[in-house]
Amino acid sequence: MTTIADVVDGMHAALLGRTDADQRVAIPGDLPTQQNQQPILKLRVLAENKQSTGRGSIGFLTLVTIRLLGEVSEPVDPDDDILVSTVQASLLALKDQAERAVINSYPLFAIVQQLVSVQTQFAFTANAQHLSGIQSDYTFEIFQTADDFAPLEADPITELQAGDPLHPGLGLHLP
């Protein structure tokens, strides 16, 4: 039984300590950061798409997309034309490290069928800091069966109270 949380946890574990972000891998991935916290990676679930495997049984081929946000920064120096390429090189290195960490994670690939795709976009800004970022969407395929949708554990119903909107005036005691 594999859940989206399992895939996120597996990707998180794959990234910890294996990139320039070191232990700075945040879940959920929308946490605000400060300049002294970079480089940093942030994860969040972006999408889920279930496709039935057929009639007569409970089974889904599920695509889970996890967004990985990466940020690096350097102080702006108007006299340093090379700094922009240094920030870009740092960002590309962080992206490559993250891809290697995820793709080479045996525990992660023990719970997913495959990594379907990785799509990355880049962003660069410069104010008082050169801030660069990546947004990589990792789409994993998992298979979900009836076990993934089994009823949740709950306390048994032993009494219906009087004034129940469905059964007004009833006060039944169940064995």
What are the tens digits of pLDDT across the range 8-64?
999 999 999 999 889 888 887 656 666 667 788 999 999 999 999 988 888 999 999
Q: pTM (2 decimals)? A: 0.74
DSSP element (H, E) containing 150: none
Q: Is pLDDT of 159 > 90?
A: no
* CA gap 37, 98 in Å, rounded: 17
Per mean pLDDT, which range of 66-75, 103-112, 134-143 is the poorest?
66-75
pLDDT at position 102 is 96
pLDDT at position 11 is 92
Per DSSP, the three-state class of 35 is helix
Q: How confident is the model at residue 148 (pLDDT cuts 50, 70, 90)?
A: confident
Q: How many CB atoms lie within 10 A of CB 138?
A: 25
Q: Is pLDDT of 162 > 80?
A: no
Q: Is pLDDT of 115 > 70?
A: yes
Q: Is pLDDT of 111 > 90?
A: yes
Contact indicator for 17, 41 with CB cutoff of 8 Å = no
Region 104-125: mean pLDDT is 92
**Amino acid present at 103:** I
CA-nearest of 53, 54, 71, 70 to 62 is 53
pLDDT at position 95 is 92
